[in-house]
A and B are shown apart, each in its own frame.
Chain A
Amino acid sequence: MKVQFADVSMRFGAMEVLQHVTIGVEEGEFLCIVGPSGCGKSTLLNIAGGFLAPVAGSVTIDGETVTAPDRRRIFVFQERGVFPWLTVEGNIGFGLFDMPEEARRQRVAQYIQLVGLDGFEKAYPRELSGGMKQRVEVARALAVNPDVLFLDEPFGALDSITRLQMRSELLRIWRAERKTVLFVTHDIEESVQLADRVVVMSARPGRIRRVVDIDIAHPRDLSSTRYIELRDLIFGEIGLAHQV
């Protein structure tokens, strides 16, 4: 197991947010965590990232217990995580501060190309669209070659068309790098489109209701029977109706 959640529980004051969360994530796996608002999925991610300490249980990555943020496991926030005072180049190179100049430049160029931002090296975030800023953040995260990537509703602030495009982009990039990915979303369709496995959380206090294997090969056809089956399975698990 690359990442192991062992009986993780969390409380804020008197409020129980997470209860006995246990799950393992394989190396190179793309794991989605879905659940209703307030179910603690972001909290879970923050605990795994070392930004919060659980009141019980632990998270281990490669056997090491997580106690603090670390550059081997990078968090991708929504596009506002990008530093507005640095250019695209500056942002992507941010974590590479102990690399020699030339090597850093090559690395940055490599990832600019990977995320499809050629030509925008010297642009500032305020000149970019939401989707582009998101790509900068992903590139920044990947450039330091982390073991694990945490994404917390990264596409939440984007319009739905951009979101679809970004999902394809993310999968393409992921396939090129094969990092272990933990991806939190409230969008069930998104989870079925992206993940190898989907962890369905209950409402607060957050517990794992079900873990669903998404056994469809990429690229996933959004009209295929299996896709709809799995999607409806998760809908049902969360208790949502099929009609609007």
Chain B
Amino acid sequence: MRSPIQHSTFNIEHSTFRFVLPLITSAIILAIWAIAVKLSGTKIFPSPAAVAKAIASLSEKSLLWRYIGDSLARVFAGYLAAIAVGIPIGFLMGWHAPLARAINPLIQMLRPISPLAWMPVAVIWFGVSNAAPIFLIFLASLFPIIVAAMNGVRNVPPMYLQAGRNFGLSTRQLMIRVVAPAVLPRIIVGLRLAFGIAWVVLVAAEMIAVDSGLGYLIIDARNAGKRYDLVVAGMLMIGVIGLLLDTGIRRVEEWIGKN
């Protein structure tokens, strides 16, 4: 294990390792995957090459970009709606402890209910349309956002508020000039996690009768023709795009942290 005072002479090697090692592991995994598929003689489970081909063919048919675009659109719609609703609620709850105590149990009860369980309700309210999956994504993101906003406000150091009042700020000004900036770095982490949840729920959301999207691709590819190459292709794209989005938000986090 590492010694306490770590002044690494590793630095250069570190960044090379960081890049090369995962590539090596990935190559090994791909190799094992390809060999396993060959050896087992399966007709259904795709080899890495088959998956790559599937992605290429989707891209040729320009379905790839349409699916990705539709999925992104749904996620962002639901997620942004959750921000619009969740942050004010969370703020209020953070500011007024009794309000938090009143509403919190309700939130705790609604949170464990999987978006899929809300599906019948969503269909009744929104019919079979784009609005239903967006609603599910909205629901899934809402609760973590409320909690993040609430905790962010609660954890604003009281001395900031005291200083604000000392300088004669009204409550409204206090909110805008002290609470909002103080809360932002803390909330951003919660927002990133909530986005991760929204992205994961996408697949569940798209199991309602939509006709495009990465989640749809996975479910439909299996149902319509056991096209497991498309299934795995869809999974990989979900994974990679999700990671890219998460990294993007992390960059925003860091940038905000510096300012």
Q: Which 7 A-B pairs have the closest CB atoms?
A: A12-B7, A51-B3, A46-B5, A52-B5, A51-B5, A51-B4, A13-B9
A43 within 8 A of B: yes
Task: Report A2-22 CB contacts with B as 1/0, cut-off 8 Å.
Answer: 000000000011000000000
CB closest residue in chain B, given A17: B7
The 0/1 profile, CB within 8 Å of A marked 1, for residues 5-39 of chain B is 10101000000000000000000000000000000
With a cutoff of 8 Å between Cβ atoms, the chain B residues found around residue A46 in the complex are: 4-5
Chain B residues with Cβ below 8 Å from A12 are 7
8 new A-B contacts, CB < 8 A, other than A12-B7, A43-B5, A52-B5, are A13-B7, A13-B9, A46-B4, A46-B5, A51-B3, A51-B4, A51-B5, A52-B3
Q: Please give, as numbers and ranges, the residues of chain A lying within 8 Å of B4 by CB-CB distance.
A: 46, 51
Q: List 11 A-B contacts (CB under 8 A).
A: A12-B7, A13-B7, A13-B9, A43-B5, A46-B4, A46-B5, A51-B3, A51-B4, A51-B5, A52-B3, A52-B5
The SS class assigned to the B binding surface is loop
Q: Name the B residues within 8 Å of A13 (CB-CB).
A: 7, 9
User: What's the minimum C-beta distance from A38 to chain B, rounded to whole angstroms?
Assistant: 14
- How many of A's residues come within 8 Å of B, CB to CB? 6
The smallest beta-carbon distance between B6 and chain A, in angstroms, is: 10
Q: Determine the residue in chain A with the shortest Cβ distance to B3.
A: A51
**CA A68 to CA B5, docked complex, whole Å:** 13
Look across to chain B and name the residue whose beta carbon is closest to the beta carbon of A12: B7
Q: Give Cα A52–Cα B5 distance, bound, in whole angstroms.
A: 7
Question: In the complex the two chains form, what is the Cα distance from A116 to B219 in whole Å?
Answer: 69
**Bound form: Cα–Cα A13–B9 in Å:** 7
B-facing residues in A4-60 (Cβ within 8 Å): 12-13, 43, 46, 51-52
Q: B residues within 8 A CB of A51?
A: 3-5
Min distance, Cβ B116 to any Cβ of chain A, angstroms: 40
Chain A residues closer than 8 Å to B7, beta-carbon distance: 12-13
Residue of A nearest to B4 (CB): A51
Measured CA separation A148–B4 after assembly (Å): 19
Q: What's the least CB distance linking B17 to chain A, in Å?
A: 18
Q: For the complex, what is the distance from the CA of A13 to the CA of B7, rounded to whole Å?
A: 8
A52, B9: Cα distance in complex, Å: 13
A142, chain B: closest CB distance, angstroms: 21
Q: Within 8 Å CB of B9, what residues of A? A: 13
For residue B3, which residues in chain A have a CB less than 8 angstroms away from its CB?
51-52
Min CB–CB distance A71 → chain B (angstroms): 16
Task: Give Cα distance in the complex from A51 to B3, angstroms.
Answer: 6
Q: In the complex, what distance in Å separates the CA atom of A13 from the CA atom of B4?
A: 17
Q: How far is the CB of B5 from chain A (nearest CB, A)?
A: 5
* Nearest-neighbor residue (CB-CB) of A68 within chain B: B3
Residues of A within 8 A of B5 (CB): 43, 46, 51-52
A51 to B1, CA, bound (A): 12
Complex: how many Å from CA A51 to CA B9?
15
Q: How distant is the Cα of A46 from the Cα of B3 in the complex, in angstroms?
A: 10
Cα(A69)–Cα(B9), bound, Å: 20
CA distance A61 to B163 in the complex (A): 55
Cα distance A43–B7 when bound, in Å? 11
Q: How far is the CA of A43 from the CA of B6 in the complex (A)?
A: 11
Which B residues lie within 8 Å of A52 (CB)? 3, 5
- Interface of chain B residues 53 through 84 with chain A (CB within 8 A): none
A15's nearest neighbour on chain B, judged by CB, is: B7
How many Å lie between the Cα of A46 and that of B5 in the bound state? 8
Chain B residue nearest to A42 (CB atoms) is B5
State how many angstroms separate the Cβ of B200 from the closest Cβ of chain A: 33
Min CB–CB distance A229 → chain B (angstroms): 36
Cα separation A52 to B6 with both chains bound (whole Å): 9
Instruction: Compute how far the CA of A46 lies from the CA of B4 in the bound complex, rounded to whole angstroms.
Output: 9
The chain B residue sitting closest to A43, CB to CB, is B5
**Which A-chain residue is minimally distant from B7 (CB atoms)?**
A12
> How far apart are A81's CB and chain B's nearest CB, in angstroms?
10
Bound-state Cα–Cα, A31 to B3, Å: 25
Complexed CA–CA distance, A43 and B4 (Å): 11
Residues of A184-222 contacting chain B, CB below 8 A: none
Nearest residue (CB) in A for B9 is A13
- Chain B residues within an 8 Å CB radius of A43: 5
- Measured CB to CB, the nearest residue on chain B to A50 is B3
Distance to closest chain A CB from B15 (angstroms): 15
